[in-house]
């Protein structure tokens, strides 16, 4: 299992694994390296904390041995019928840290949120393309009369969102991850509570000091470091004009 640093992931992920409780989401399309990033974070917890970790996966991709933690891994189909049922069963075994491979439905999301609120550190994945969309996706799963309550729950328990995509390196030697990172500040918690997720992008642009970054700033950084080509970066950006502004007059790789 590769480490957070070996994978070239942002250093703020080290902060996420130190959280005593809350909700940490890793999102992105299929094949964007979500499982690999989560495995790195779980492994770091396993090396640094004396906790009980439970994972619910479909399928299990990385096997975790007991280091400082006790790790129990459950596989969907083999050990449980659904993520929601497996998560409820896991909570009865008093874990400190829970990894939910995928949040596919209301019941799973609701149970995961409650777990994060009641003192567990919960890691989960969603197939969303950016951090603001991730928050909206969670809230939209619930019926309208519950959505304000879920906003409040999320504003309290969410600790961070990592949205990532994998890109081929300029020299063709492999792939590198570009990451959008949303951390939690009082301002971000207020935006979530008030349903103003459309304003999150501007917070990402101005909160580098808190370890946050937009996908565009991550792509621009990779271009500046010569790791990916400008063309690839522009093709993967949802706002190419903003990306071009961030890249400035960077020499084309």
Residue spans per domain, the chain: 12-213, 215-253
pLDDT at 77: 86
SS (H, E, C) 182-242: EECCHHHHHHHHCCCHHHHHHHHHHCHHHCCECHHHHHHHHHHCCCCCHHHHHHHCCCHHH
pTM attached to this predicted model: 0.94
Tell me whether the omega of the peptide bond preceding residue 218 falls within 30 degrees of 0, making it cis: no
% of the chain exceeding 90 in pLDDT: 93
pLDDT at 249: 59
Residue count of the chain: 253
Mean pLDDT for 132-153 is 97
Q: In what order do the strands lie in the sheet with 22-27?
A: 70-75, 52-57, 97-100, 121-126, 22-27, 158-168, 175-183
Mean pLDDT for 191-206 is 95
| Maximum CA extent, the chain | 56
Under DSSP, is residue 14 helix (H, G, I), strand (E, B) or coil? helix
Q: For the domain 12-213, what is the CATH code?
A: 3.40.50.300
Mean pLDDT for 211-232 is 95
- CA–CA distance from 209 to each of 14, 97, 200 (Å)? 15, 27, 15
In sequence order, the 6+-apart residues with CB closer than 8 A to the CB of 6 are 40
pLDDT tens digits, 34-85: 999 999 999 999 999 999 999 999 999 999 999 999 999 999 988 888 999 9
pLDDT tens digits, 1-10: 999 999 999 9
- Over 50: is that where the pLDDT of 253 sits? no
Q: Tokens 């299929």 identify what position?
A: 30
Closest CA to 39 of 21, 20, 12, 65: 65
pLDDT at 81: 87
Closest CA to 26 of 146, 156, 158: 158
What confidence category does residue 248 fall into, taking pLDDT thresholds of 50, 70 and 90?
confident
Q: Tokens 């063309």 identify what position?
A: 231
pLDDT tens digits, 25-47: 999 999 999 999 999 999 999 99
Q: What is the mean pLDDT of the chain?
A: 94
pLDDT at 53: 98
The answer to whether residues 158 and 145 touch, using CB atoms and an 8 Å cutoff, is no
pLDDT at 104: 87
């Amino acid at each position: 299992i590769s480490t957070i640093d070996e994978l070239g992931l942002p250093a703020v992920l080290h902060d996420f694994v130190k959280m005593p409780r809350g909700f940490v989401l890793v999102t992105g399309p299929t094949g964007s390296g979500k499982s690999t990033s989560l495995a790195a974070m779980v492994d770091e917890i396993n090396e640094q904390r004396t906790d009980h970790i439970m994972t619910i996966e479909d399928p299990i991709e990385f096997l975790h041995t007991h280091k400082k933690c006790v790790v129990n891994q459950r596989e969907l189909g083999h050990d449980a019928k659904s993520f929601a049922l497996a998560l409820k069963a896991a909570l009865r075994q008093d874990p400190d840290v829970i990894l939910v491979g995928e949040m596919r439905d209301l019941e799973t999301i609701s149970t995961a949120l409650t777990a994060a609120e009641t003192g567990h550190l919960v890691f989960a994945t969603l197939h969303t393309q950016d951090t603001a969309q991730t928050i909206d996706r969670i809230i939209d799963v619930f019926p309208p009369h519950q959505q304000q309550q879920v906003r409040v729950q999320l504003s309290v328990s969410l600790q961070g969102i990592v949205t990532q995509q994998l890109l081929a390196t300029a020299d063709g030697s492999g792939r590198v991850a570009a990451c959008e990172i949303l951390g939690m500040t009082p301002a971000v918690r207020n935006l979530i509570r008030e349903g103003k997720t459309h304003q999150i992008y501007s917070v990402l642009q101005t909160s580098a000091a808190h370890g946050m970054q937009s996908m565009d700033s991550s792509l621009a950084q990779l271009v500046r470091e010569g790791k990916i080509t400008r063309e690839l970066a522009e093709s993967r950006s949802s706002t190419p004009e903003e990306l071009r502004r961030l890249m400035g007059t960077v020499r084309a790789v």
